[in-house]
Amino acid sequence: MQIDLGEVRETGTAPPGRPPVPYKALLAALSVVLAGLLGGAAHRGPPDEPTIVPARIGDDTWVIGDRLYVVGSGRLENGEPATERTVTGYALPDVELVSRTAVPLEGEIERIEPAGDVLLVSYRFDADGTRTVVAVRTGTGERLWQRFVRLVDASPEAGTVLLADDRRFYLADLATGALRWRVDRPADGFVAEAGFRSGRASWLVTVTDSGRLETRDARTGRVIATARVAGHRNRANGQVWPTGDVMLVQDGDEYYGFRLPELTRLWRTDADIMHSWGQSDCGVVLCAYRMERGIMALDPATGVQRWTSDRWAYAEAAGAYLLASSQDRTVGTPWLWVLDPATGTVLGDFGEWQGAGPAADGRIYGVREMPGKYVISYGVLDPATRRAEILGQAGMISGGCQAAAGVLYCRRVDASIAVWRLG
């Protein structure tokens, strides 16, 4: 059915949340359309017709919490990009129009975040990458404040927003932008947000070349714990990475694992994780991603290297398994591989299916294409069996499919958005 774009009713309160980085490279829903069924896949029967949300070429789509947002690309004015873009919000899973907000901005949008009756939009202001956050009243477009910073997260319950730039972190008033406190980055150190819960940072972690460690409450700025390690150069370049409640820090020529936020030293690892980074949830192991290629998995309890492989570009937990994407995928090879996280052993794959987002019980939603036909099949992928349960097929789909907030949404060939209710 077609969405009615008539009168907009009052906006409801949308829950905050940091968009999970979009299921990253592994589970990002790409432009897909489907050909044939995966061998042995089951089919539930004909799906409901999708709801169609109007959109144009160049419009952005975001799902934050239980809201779908369509961000207009802006019309050209005298050959120059418009300085205002319209953000239209729909409540999911019913795809009900709830708000339309004019947002003043001039640049590439990086993120939007609803926070009660405030809409936060973060964008790059110019070619040199200057970041800007603007806060407007949802539904009215009233500009509340604007700052040249990066948006970390927001807490509408507390009426605050956490911001950052190259020099410091700030906690500001959500409605006015007034600063409540700040944490400066040391001249010889690095500050990072950590401990994300429901899309919000729990702590700020400081590490310095001189060996000072510190954790602070990200909501109050209060110091939680401090510790010392041996001095080491270049910590100001971010040679530290927190993953969940474990942080790895270089101490001399070695790396140590610390429990966050107490900064309790857990173990020393002999694994060579120099020039690595770690952010994603790898379940029962810590994943260290090498700058050049490959993954190393560490035991979070002991720091012992479980396994390493140059084959994988990315991995993420799905229940008791890891789903991995290949470093050098070629046409005709699988998109998703199922690994045993304890050993790195390949258990199977999903053929031409691509991940679209998490489902229940460790499963994920997936899509598969029919090349050149603008047709997709979508279903539920089970890592335990490496089988797909087909939920439906759809035509006139150009790609951009993702599953979130109880729906699957895809761009159609006319740039509009098709939304199917899942479950």
- Which one-letter DSSP state was computed for residue 24? H
Gap between the Cα atoms of 206 and 214, Å rounded: 5
Give the angle 139-145-148 at the CA atoms, nearest 5°. Answer: 125
- The reported pLDDT for the residue numbered 77 is 57
372-381: Cβ within 8 A, 24+ apart: 373/33, 373/35, 374/33, 374/398, 374/413, 375/33, 375/34, 375/35, 376/32, 376/33, 376/34, 376/401, 376/410, 377/34, 377/37, 378/34, 378/408, 378/420, 379/41, 379/353, 381/336, 381/350, 381/353, 381/355
Count of CB atoms situated within 10 Å of the CB of 413: 11
- Place 249 in a pLDDT band, splitting at 50, 70 and 90: confident
Tens digit of pLDDT for each residue in 320-361? 999 999 988 888 899 999 999 999 999 999 999 999 999 999
Three-state DSSP state, 22: helix
The proportion of the chain whose per-residue pLDDT surpasses 90, expressed as a percent, equals 63
| pLDDT attached to residue 75 | 61
DSSP 361-403: TT-EEEEEEETTTTEEEEEEEETTTTEEEEEEEEESEEEEEEE
CA–CA distance, 159 with 13 (Å, rounded to integer): 13
Cis peptide bond N-terminal to 104, omega within 30: no
What confidence tens digit (pLDDT) does each residue in 145-184 have? 999 999 999 999 999 999 999 899 999 999 999 999 999 9
DSSP, residue by residue, 284-331: TSEEEEESSS-EEEE-TTT--EEEEESSEEEEEEETTEEEEEETT--T
- Once rounded to an integer, what is the mean pLDDT over residues 256-278? 89
- Residues 67/17, Cβ–Cβ less than 8 Å: no
Rounded CA separation 164/184 (Å)? 10
Q: Which amino acid is present at 359?
A: A
Can you tell me the distance from the alpha carbon of 69 to that of 60, in angstroms, rounded to the nearest whole number? 8
What pLDDT does 9 receive? 34
Closest CA to 113 of 176, 156, 165: 156
Separation between Cα atoms, residue 137 and residue 372, nearest integer Å: 43
Q: How confident is the model at residue 47 (pLDDT cuts 50, 70, 90)?
A: low
- Taking alpha carbons only, the member of 252, 181, 238 closest to residue 208 is 238
- d(CA 122, CA 129) in angstroms, rounded, equals 12
pLDDT higher at 273 or 377: 377
Per-residue model confidence (pLDDT) at position 278? 79
Tell me, what's the pLDDT at 240? 64
Q: How far apart are CA 278 and CA 263, in angstroms?
A: 18
Phi-psi region of 292 (alpha: psi -120 to 50; beta: other; left: phi over 0): alpha
- Reply yes or no on whether the pLDDT at 6 is more than 50: no
CA proximity to 239, closest of 255, 250, 251 = 250
**Phi, psi of 392, deg, nearest 5:** 175, 175
- 420 to each of 14, 93, 382, 388, 391, how far by Cα in Å? 20, 8, 20, 18, 10
pLDDT, one tens digit per residue, over 54-91 is: 999 989 999 999 999 999 987 665 666 668 899 999 99
Whole-number Å distance between alpha carbons of 257 and 392:
46
Cross-sheet strand order for the sheet of 321-326:
312-318, 321-326, 337-339, 346-349
Average confidence score pLDDT of the chain: 85
Does pLDDT of 309 surpass 90?
A: yes
Residue 120 structure tokens: 């936060």
Q: What is the pLDDT of residue 109?
A: 87
Q: What is d(CA 390, CA 184) in angstroms, rounded to the nearest whole number?
A: 52
Q: What are phi and psi of 410, to 5 degrees?
A: -140, 155
Helix H or strand E encompassing 169: strand 168-173
pLDDT at position 126 is 67
What are the tokens at 65? 């919490």
pTM score, whole prediction: 0.83
